[in-house]
Each structure stands twice: as structure tokens, then as C-alpha cells.
């Protein structure tokens, strides 16, 4: 099962091409760590495939800290872990619930 990732990116654009720099922006890093005053955090996780077999990548951004993004990702992973390994019907159902909650800006259903 994919546990997902957190990344930091910004809306800066390349001065010559005008293309977004995203996670390659030089202002995102300061010394050996992340610059707390530049960019936003996001998470990405692959939800179980839909019933018809289509992939379901889930990405959300706008988190102030990496901890906030990781907490949201952890809640999603805990909800997915409720299903028995190999039980595709339950995985699809839980994936549907998670996707609907995130899209409606509601809390992710708890593992309980």
C-alpha cells in the first residue's frame, strides 16, 4: 500500500520562460533546511483504484507546515489500513469515502 509523500512547492515563475518553478524554487531552502517563510506544503497519496479500475491519485496543498500535511496523510493511511489485505471491495468503499470527504473539505473518516 502506498503511504504517500509530502512535498513543498511555491508559485514562483522562471524569469525567462515564465514557467512555474514548483519544488525547484531556490527560495524554498535555507541553509540545510526548509525556508519557513516561502512556499506551501502538500501531500500526495494513491487511493485504491475505482471499481472500473481507474487510478485515484489524491493531492491536496495549502498546509503551513510539513507536520500538518503529514498528519492529514497519516489519517488517510489509517483509514485505509482498516481494510483486510486483499479485500478490494472494502478498499474501494473506503477510498470512495476518503475521496468524498476530502473533496467536500470534510474531515477524513476515522479508523474507528
Which residues partner with 43 through β-bridges? 6, 60
Instruction: Give CA–CA dist 12/26, Å, rounded.
Output: 10
- Taking only the tens place, the pLDDT of each residue in 27-44 is 888 878 888 888 899 999
Q: Is 109 domain-assigned?
A: no
- Taking only the tens place, the pLDDT of each residue in 56-67 is 899 999 899 999
Q: Which of 23, 44, 39 has the alpha carbon at shortest distance from 102?
A: 44
Give the residue numbers spanning the domain of 34: 5-103
Q: Is 40 domain-assigned?
A: yes
Q: Is 47 domain-assigned?
A: yes
Q: Is 112 domain-assigned?
A: no
Q: How many domains does the chain have?
A: 1
Q: Which of 94, 6, 3 has the alpha carbon at shortest distance from 50?
A: 94
Q: How confident is the model at residue 2 (pLDDT cuts 50, 70, 90)?
A: low
Amino acid at each position: 500500500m502506498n503511504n504517500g509523500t509530502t512535498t513543498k512547492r511555491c508559485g514562483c515563475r522562471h524569469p525567462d520562460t515564465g514557467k512555474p518553478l514548483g519544488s525547484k524554487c531556490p527560495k524554498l531552502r535555507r541553509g540545510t533546511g526548509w525556508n519557513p517563510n516561502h512556499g506551501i506544503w502538500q501531500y500526495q497519496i494513491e487511493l485504491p483504484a475505482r471499481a472500473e479500475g481507474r487510478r485515484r491519485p489524491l493531492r491536496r496543498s495549502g498546509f503551513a507546515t510539513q507536520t500538518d500535511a503529514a498528519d492529514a496523510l497519516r489519517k488517510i493511511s489509517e483509514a485505509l489500513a482498516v481494510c483486510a489485505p486483499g479485500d478490494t471491495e472494502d478498499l474501494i468503499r473506503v477510498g470512495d469515502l476518503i475521496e468524498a470527504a476530502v473533496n467536500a473539505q470534510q474531515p477524513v473518516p476515522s479508523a474507528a
